[in-house]
Amino acid sequence: MSFTEVYVSRRKLKSVFFTQIDKLINWEDISVLIKQYYSKGFSVAGRPSYSGLLLFKMCLLQTWYGLSDYEVEDKVNDSLSFMQFVGLQLEDEVPDHSVISRFRSELTKKEAFEKIFEQINVQLENKGLIVKTGAIVDATVTESPRKPKGKTTYAVADDRKEEQRSEEDIKAERKQNQLIKLTQPGVDTEAAWLKKAGKLHYGYKKHLCTDDAEGMIMAVTTTAANESDMHHITDVVDKSKLKKGARVKADKGYASTANRQALNERGFKENIMHRAVKNKPLTVWQIKFNQIISKTRYKVECTAGSMKRWFGAATARYVGILKTHTQHLMEAMAYNLYRSPGIVAKRHY
């Protein structure tokens, strides 16, 4: 055991959590996977470059502690527990912010974070921490600070509307985005406006599918904010790889004949809450059904709310839908790992 390891073992506050994560996850499997998408090679000076696993762990630290590329570089330099977690010794150099940024961009381009998320979830499922016998679906908004200035009289969608955007709306939005690119550099034109509860939001939607046991995240998809939840339930459910016969719960915003039929055709039991329509109020049975679903459906809202409080997940850190999806995936991985030691401890009582 090196001097660093001996010293860090005495600093319990952060190192206990990192030790718990290291016991839960087989990092060698994750390292092998990352190597398929990121070849470290050699630096300009001829020294071996940093391993992909080291850089991925720095990305995890960023998400857990709300750090920028510059800040995580400084923290790993300053914190022995951070240094040990990523696999560095006192005499090793810490990757600078530009290396982290290039790593994240390369894996985003190759859609590798999706594969890493799946691999981590497989390991958690094998330990019984993710249970795929039931699921809950919901969506939450990730606001972009890079919003256009001026009046928002174009392409504003109302949340939970069934209607698809018309071709005219799409053409108008593209035309407006072209104008914004020319007149307002720095605006994220892949984001979109959404009107929710009377308030305007600009950004993206994070569509979540969690298990109904602990609210652990099984799948996540990302769309522009003006995309209706109604049309994306099967996207996120398909990615979750649920077991046949699983119950899929969702609130009344997803209520449609098409969604119910699609879930049934996939071999799932649809548990979408019922929605009253004009001249057709809910029956006593439908009201009771909604109450039963609400008793577990709240877990996905707790998951989304926890990510916002713990990781600042309500705000987009990057520009563009691909990079924002990477952020959503990192938040999902960070959440599942953060929750896992507590679930293990609870089950031992």
pLDDT digits (tens, 9 = 90+) for 40-84: 654 555 455 789 999 999 999 999 999 999 999 999 999 999 999
Neighbours of 88 (CB within 10 A): 21
pLDDT of residue 173: 64
pLDDT band for position 12 (50/70/90)?
Answer: very low
Short-list 298, 308, 272, CA closest to 140: 308
DSSP-assigned letters across all residues of 111-124: THHHHHHHHHHHHH
Collapsing DSSP states into helix, strand and coil, what is residue 73? helix
pLDDT band for position 15 (50/70/90)?
Answer: confident
- For the chain, give the percent of residues with pLDDT over 70: 83
Short-list 150, 156, 273, 136, CA closest to 207: 136
Residues sharing a CB contact under 8 Å with residue 251, sequence separation 6 or more, in sequence order: 138, 272, 273, 297
Q: 154, 176 in Cβ contact below 8 A? A: yes
What is the rounded average pLDDT of the residues 155-184? Answer: 57
pLDDT of residue 269: 95
What is the C-alpha to C-alpha distance for residues 17 and 276, in angstroms, rounded to an integer? 47
At 278-314, the pLDDT tens digits run 888 999 999 999 999 988 888 999 999 999 999 999 9
Q: 177, 189 in Cβ contact below 8 A? A: yes
Short-list 68, 323, 102, 110, CA closest to 204: 323
pTM to 2 decimals? 0.87
Short-list 60, 142, 150, 31, CA closest to 340: 60
As a whole number, the mean pLDDT across the chain is 86
At 108-156, the pLDDT tens digits run 999 999 999 999 999 999 999 999 999 999 999 999 999 887 655 555 5
Short-list 272, 245, 266, 246, CA closest to 137: 272
What is the C-alpha to C-alpha distance for residues 40 and 32, in angstroms, rounded to an integer? 12
Q: 215, 136 in Cβ contact below 8 A? A: yes
For residue 11, is pLDDT > 50? no
Q: Could you give the dihedral angle defined by the CA atoms of residues 286, 289, 290 and 293, in that order, rounded to the nearest 10 degrees?
A: -160
pLDDT of residue 7: 45
Strands 247-250 vs 199-211: parallel, antiparallel or unpaired? unpaired
Domain residue spans of the chain: 3-110, 117-348
What is the C-alpha to C-alpha distance for residues 106 and 94, in angstroms, rounded to an integer? 19
